[in-house]
């Protein structure tokens, strides 16, 4: 494997030097190839233990995100912060972040986007344990999963609902195509996250309208009053 990678790196270096020699002195071509040649320089100079490595020439903004799961220990893409309502599950924020920042350092921007979308301030925020040491400095009270102290009965019920966001993220990945982005660049990552959130909210609204329509067209019949009285007497049974 190392030998093949070294061979590919050698081929890439030859092509890079050949193109650099042929476009030298031509300002138009140098400007046109500057971005691509810059990526090649980074690719040739990077080592396995470097940070901010290039994993894709077509999408250099892609980052390696450690998931810690046996099935998918690593994922390559952009990190997205999701905020939903506690009961309804409507997505209030879907913010794409550059690189691979710590989860706690994304909380402030995610809540800010949610407050701008809904037009009101958040009172209570429920997050998982990955948000310990967060950077949020607003007025809302942040409660971390597993917290026991200082919680009222209502807060405990709402904290149990925190895990419902995992199902929301799963639906956004499968139904909303959040797991595969076909839009280019960092702006494409942000647009894809917002479109996936909007699509999820529309599906929830459509499902609610369908249930309402079915209830209107097929109402539940009311129980009919009757004077019939049935007397049930227990029968003796035997078990072997």
Question: What Rg value do the Cα atoms of the chain yield, rounded?
Answer: 28
- Phi first, then psi, for residue 184 (nearest 5°) are -90, 140
pLDDT band at 92 (very low <50, low <70, confident <90, very high): very high
Which among 77, 72, 86, 37 has a CA at the least distance from the CA of 56? 77
Q: What is the mean pLDDT of residues 91-103?
A: 91
Which residue is listed with tokens 């912060």?
81
Of the candidate ranges 3-12, 63-72, 97-106, 179-188, the one whose mean pLDDT is the lowest: 63-72
The single-letter DSSP state of residue 221 is: P
Structure tokens given for 79: 């990190």
- Taking the C-alpha atoms of residue 138 and residue 122, their distance in angstroms, rounded to an integer, is 9
Q: How far is CA 74 from CA 64, 66, 113, 178, in A?
A: 7, 5, 27, 17
Structure tokens given for 142: 């942040």
Structure tokens given for 124: 């209570």
> What is the pTM (predicted TM-score) of this model?
0.78
Q: Domain residue spans in the chain? A: 2-45, 65-205
Percent of the chain clearing pLDDT 70 (strictly above): 91
**pLDDT tens string 168-205:** 999 999 999 898 888 988 999 999 999 999 999 999 99
Contact 62, 76 (CB under 8 A): yes
């Amino acid at each position: 494997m190392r030998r093949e990678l070294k061979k590919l790196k050698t081929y890439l270096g030859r092509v890079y030097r050949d193109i650099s020699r042929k476009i030298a002195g031509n300002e138009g071509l140098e400007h046109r190839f500057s971005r691509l040649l810059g990526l090649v320089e980074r690719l040739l100079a990077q080592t396995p233990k470097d940070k901010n490595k290039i994993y894709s020439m077509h999408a250099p903004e892609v980052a390696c995100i450690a998931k810690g799961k046996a099935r998918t220990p690593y994922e390559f893409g952009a990190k997205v912060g999701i905020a939903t309502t506690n009961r309804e599950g409507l997505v209030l924020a879907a913010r794409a972040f550059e690189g691979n920042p710590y989860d706690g350092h994304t909380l402030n921007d995610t809540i800010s986007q949610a407050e701008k979308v809904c037009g009101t301030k958040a009172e209570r925020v429920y997050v998982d344990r990955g948000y310990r040491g967060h950077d949020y400095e607003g007025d809302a009270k942040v409660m971390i999963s597993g917290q026991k102290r200082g919680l009222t009965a209502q807060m405990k019920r709402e904290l149990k609902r925190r895990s419902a966001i995992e199902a929301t993220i799963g639906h956004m990945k499968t139904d909303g195509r959040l797991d595969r982005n076909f839009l280019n660049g960092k702006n494409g990552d942000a647009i894809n996250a917002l479109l996936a959130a909007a699509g999820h909210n529309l599906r929830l609204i459509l499902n609610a309208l369908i249930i309402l329509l079915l209830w209107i067209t097929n109402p539940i019949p009311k129980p009919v009053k009757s004077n019939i009285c049935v007397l049930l007497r227990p029968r003796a049974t035997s078990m072997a």
